[in-house]
């Protein structure tokens, strides 16, 4: 039996198809544009390759779009039929099981299946990356770190070793080991020069530790690592914009928004998240963003019934609230109420922290800052579970803090700021510095 680049046997008997499969794996690891092209070539050459269909289904679910649930379901049906025809290895069967678990509303079951593959094949970088990606969606930073650390040794000298260091860097950063993350990410980049994920993990470090000069230089000096990417490159531009924001260069931020981050007017939830969270950050800093919310709200309005990810929904709400789309906001809130009453891993996230967060964002949009603060602060302890990174969710943190300031709740707001600073290894970025100064100024002014 032939083996793939992850040193695992594959039910493909044509070396050219194995080369396509390996091309898919490399592209997926590097967030490259060629992932679907390679996967399509594998499936047209080997229509009974169950793991390929499972990959198509899992990748579709990762997109967080309602219409792709049907694509994933069809891929799952085809994968099960392919297994019945061709058997398949234990790894391939576990991939089909992983897709079935997620389709049945248990993404944690998909992770468990990946971990079973990794117990057997610790050199399987692809399964490690899928486990990493689903844990990212579930906000499981600790599990994400343990998972990748379990396969680090097996990847010494591996063809894909660099990407594993990149994933490790991200998990270290998300669990607060900023020095370790910086070292791992830079090591990974040396071994895999197109490792956008690893480079971006180091950009996260410089964001969290308030070193914007380092972050901007890193991104500018390593274009080859991320310029080749699918829409992930917009996310790297977004990181660059955050770093410029921390230097107070809001005009550069707006230019990056127009020329790069929102160059493609897509409704991919990750692109919408980049855009809405950046516009909100700019507005919190007092920068007018003109009519930029409108096209985002147009897309968000069409997604209120998606119900795939709370993380996506809350970013849709940012656009709906800012653009004053009352009807769509009501639809989203009504759908949250229905989903929150359901059983399951994702509905549980809608119930807590989703509902409180959505209520808080809505209140913020309407200028009811005391209500916004109460609800956003109530949601805060559970926000990790909506997924995404600390840097992404920081927009909600900033809104909570500014709602507290605007409603005069200085003690509670100061406590949140101190916690935010502690999570950043004591680093005080421009946001924390200005808000601490605001509190201090407010306390000096005697009450009327």
Measured from the CB atom, is 115 or 173 closer to Fe ion? 173
Measured from the CB atom, is 274 or 413 closer to Fe ion? 274
Q: For the CB of residue 95, give the shortest distance to Fe ion in the complex, in Å.
A: 26
Q: For the CB of residue 217, give the shortest distance to Fe ion in the complex, in Å.
A: 17
Residues 6+ away with beta carbon under 8 Å from 10: 1, 2, 3, 4, 18, 21, 49, 51, 89, 92
Q: For the CB of residue 392, give the shortest distance to Fe ion in the complex, in Å.
A: 6
Measured from the CB atom, is 16 or 227 closer to Fe ion? 227
Alpha-carbon distance of 299 to 333, in angstroms, equals 17
Residue 209 exposed, middle or buried by CB count within 10 Å (0-12, 13-18, 19+): buried
> Is residue 362 within 8 Å of residue 321, measured between CB atoms?
yes
Q: For the CB of residue 239, give the shortest distance to Fe ion in the complex, in Å.
A: 6
Measured from the CB atom, is 155 or 270 closer to Fe ion? 270
Q: For the CB of residue 235, give the shortest distance to Fe ion in the complex, in Å.
A: 6
Alpha-carbon distance of 293 to 355, in angstroms, equals 23
Alpha-carbon distance of 232 to 104, in angstroms, equals 28
Residue tagged 């421009």 (tokens): 430
Q: For the CB of residue 391, give the shortest distance to Fe ion in the complex, in Å.
A: 6
Token reading at 380: 């805060």
Site residues (CB under 5 A) for Fe ion, limited to 53-112: none
Alpha-carbon distance of 382 to 357, in angstroms, equals 10
Site residues (CB under 5 A) for Fe ion, limited to 235-294: none
> Is residue 361 within 8 Å of residue 354, measured between CB atoms?
no
Measured from the CB atom, is 231 or 331 closer to Fe ion? 231
Q: For the CB of residue 203, give the shortest distance to Fe ion in the complex, in Å.
A: 7
- Nearest residue to Fe ion, scored by beta-carbon proximity: 389
Give residue 139's region: left, alpha or beta (phi > 0; psi -120 to 50): left
Size of the site for Fe ion (CB under 5 A): 1
Token reading at 246: 């921390």
Alpha-carbon distance of 187 to 168, in angstroms, equals 11
HSE, CB side, 13 Å, CA atoms: give it for residue 297.
17
Measured from the CB atom, is 354 or 388 closer to Fe ion? 388
Measured from the CB atom, is 301 or 389 closer to Fe ion? 389
Alpha-carbon distance of 390 to 203, in angstroms, equals 12
Phi, psi angles (nearest 5°) of residue 9: -70, 145
Measured from the CB atom, is 49 or 234 closer to Fe ion? 234
Q: For the CB of residue 7, give the shortest distance to Fe ion in the complex, in Å.
A: 29
Token reading at 443: 């306390």
Site residues (CB under 5 A) for Fe ion, limited to 361-420: 389
> Is residue 281 within 8 Å of residue 246, measured between CB atoms?
no
Alpha-carbon distance of 415 to 155, in angstroms, equals 43
Alpha-carbon distance of 192 to 172, in angstroms, equals 18
Measured from the CB atom, is 351 or 427 closer to Fe ion? 427
Q: For the CB of residue 426, give the shortest distance to Fe ion in the complex, in Å.
A: 22
Site residues (CB under 5 A) for Fe ion, limited to 125-154: none
Measured from the CB atom, is 389 or 400 closer to Fe ion? 389
Q: For the CB of residue 442, give the shortest distance to Fe ion in the complex, in Å.
A: 33
Token reading at 268: 């991919």
Measured from the CB atom, is 147 or 389 closer to Fe ion? 389
Strand partners, 3: 9
Q: For the CB of residue 191, give the shortest distance to Fe ion in the complex, in Å.
A: 21
Phi, psi angles (nearest 5°) of residue 3: -115, 150
Q: How many other β-carbons are positioned within 10 Å of the β-carbon of residue 274?
A: 26
Residues that bind Fe ion (CB under 5 A): 389
């Amino acid at each position: 039996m032939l083996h793939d680049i992850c040193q695992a046997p594959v039910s493909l008997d044509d070396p050219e198809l194995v080369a396509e499969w390996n091309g898919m794996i490399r592209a997926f690891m590097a967030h490259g544009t060629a992932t679907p092209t390679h996967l399509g070539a594998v499936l047209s050459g080997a229509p009974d390759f169950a793991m390929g269909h499972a990959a198509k289904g899992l990748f579709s679910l990762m997109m967080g779009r309602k219409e792709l649930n049907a694509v994933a379901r069809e891929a799952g049906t085809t994968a099960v039929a392919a297994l019945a025809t061709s058997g398949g290895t234990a790894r391939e069967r576990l991939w089909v099981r992983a897709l079935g678990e997620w389709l049945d509303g248990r993404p944690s079951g998909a992770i468990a299946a990946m971990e079973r593959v990794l117990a057997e094949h610790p050199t399987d970088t692809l399964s490690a990356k899928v486990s990493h990606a689903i844990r990212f969606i579930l906000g499981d930073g600790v599990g994400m770190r343990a998972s990748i650390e379990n396969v680090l040794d097996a990847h010494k000298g591996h063809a894909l070793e660099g990407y594993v260091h990149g994933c490790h860097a991200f998990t270290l950063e998300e669990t607060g080991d900023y020095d370790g993350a910086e070292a791992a990410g830079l090591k990974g980049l040396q071994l895999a020069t197109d490792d956008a994920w690893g480079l971006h993990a180091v950009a996260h470090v410089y964001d969290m530790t308030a070193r914007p000069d380092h972050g901007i230089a890193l991104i500018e000096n390593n274009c080859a690592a991320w310029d080749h990417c699918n829409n992930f490159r917009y996310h790297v531009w977004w990181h660059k914009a955050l770093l410029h924001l921390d230097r107070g260069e809001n005009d550069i931020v707006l230019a990056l928004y127009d020329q790069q981050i929102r160059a493609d007017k897509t409704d991919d939830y990750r692109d919408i998240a980049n855009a809405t969270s950046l516009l909100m950050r700019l507005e919190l800093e007092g920068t007018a963003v003109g009519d930029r919310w409108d096209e985002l709200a147009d897309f968000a309005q069409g997604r209120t019934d998606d119900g795939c990810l709370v993380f996506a929904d809350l970013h849709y709400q940012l656009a709906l609230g800012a653009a004053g789309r009352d009807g769509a906001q009501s639809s989203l809130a009504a759908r949250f109420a229905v989903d929150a009453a359901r059983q399951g891993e994702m509905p549980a996230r809608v119930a807590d922290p989703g509902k409180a967060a959505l209520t808080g964002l809505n209140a913020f949009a309407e200028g009811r800052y005391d209500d916004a603060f109460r609800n956003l602060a109530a949601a805060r302890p559970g926000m990790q579970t909506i997924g995404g990174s600390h840097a992404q969710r920081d927009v909600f943190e900033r809104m909570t803090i500014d709602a507290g300031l605007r409603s005069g709740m200085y003690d509670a707001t100061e406590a949140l700021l101190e916690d935010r600073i502690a999570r950043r290894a004591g680093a005080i970025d421009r946001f924390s510095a200005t808000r601490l100064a605001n509190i201090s100024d407010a306390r000096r002014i005697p009450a009327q």
